[in-house]
Structure 1
Amino acid sequence: MYCLTCIKHWYPNMSIGDIAERCPFCRKNCNCNVCLCSRGMIKTSNRNITDCEKVHHYRYMINLLLPSLKQIFEEQCQEKEIEAKIQGTSYSEIEIPQTPFHDKERIYCDHCATSIVDLYRSCPKCSFEICLSCCKEIRNGSITPRFEMMFQYKNRGDEYMHGGDPLPITCDTSNLEGNVEIFTKWNVNSDGSVECAPKELGGCVVV
């Protein structure tokens, strides 16, 4: 099924009637990740690339990734300095434990849902895991509420998926103010350590 927003963004040359008659998947023109990565949809070029071209591509990739790598390195250094303060030891003596995981397994922040590629914090009492960016926001008192986590997918009916009117659905927003207050109670200790998230946000701390 394709929503109206995706149709307008990814298939501007197709009308809603065209989609209803024959969807992009049936036309072998689907832009979803599964179809794009499936065999036969993307053909790797057989052109031989010279060593000079490879060096040029590598340099381009390094220049493209360098700002992000610098940011990751700076966040890691800051977090290690905080951890040294928590443990009462020097920066050079900090040992980062390695998390065992399976091949192709990915870890996501339990607050912002970002894929974690570097250091992260985890609660020793539960399985709550949080990225360094969210740790920084919590310490600064500027943690961003994720309202999208508080809603579930609403089935608006088949007619809506094909451009028709949606089924009547009511959304209860009466508890949003209370949820905002929960974020302000995500505590940080005097040594810089971040407590686990409140239970309402998936952690184990009772607010």
Structure 2
Amino acid sequence: MISEYQQQLRDRYLAALVMPAPEPWRSPLERSTCIPIGGLLGVGFATDPTNGHDLLMAVSHQGHGLFDAPTGEKIARDYDPDPDLHTPTGPDLSCPGIGPLTGSQVRIAGLFGGGLHTTTDDGWTLDVVAPDWPHHRVLLSDDGGLCAGPAGEHWWHIFHANYSELRAAGFSPSGRTLLIATSSDITLFVRPPSESPK
């Protein structure tokens, strides 16, 4: 049996409609809200050594892809990675990088474990809740994860995984990219690197 407080939280999350992420977060994708990737196993972040952009590596049953997070553009693809080397099941859950990350390892969060950053240095917090499990909801807040008050003031229900299994959700180490990965797609939100802390 759940406590009265737990029931209040559950009711609050169930009542919150999905809404756009607040400013300064925006989707870099022009034509859709997500990047479709069938059979997604996991995702990881790295930094582009040439321009400092956040890079997103996606690992799926169909190969590996590398994306420029600020634009959502695919910049490298490996359709046939060696499964013994490229499945994120080792002790650090990493895979060899592709494209500009060749020669480095990228830690992957997803089906096999691991995780992404859930906070940024300037106070944004990401929480995953499941008041109607197995469907997960992703909450973005600017109040340290308290999710107090009505949705849309200091916390936002930005994603509802009711069609595919949630794989990972979190921020890049720079705090400029927020991603939500399911077994079928990746949703990205970015903010300008020049944004000053709140």
> Which TM-score band applies after superposition, normalised by the shorter structure?
under 0.3
Q: Which has the higher contact order (CA 8 A, sep 6+)?
A: 2
Looking at secondary structure, tell me which structure has more helix per residue: 1
* Structure showing the higher strand proportion among its residues: 2
Q: Highest CA radius of gyration, 1 or 2?
A: 1
The TM-score, its normalising length taken from structure 2, stands at: 0.21
How high is the TM-score relative to the length of structure 1? 0.20
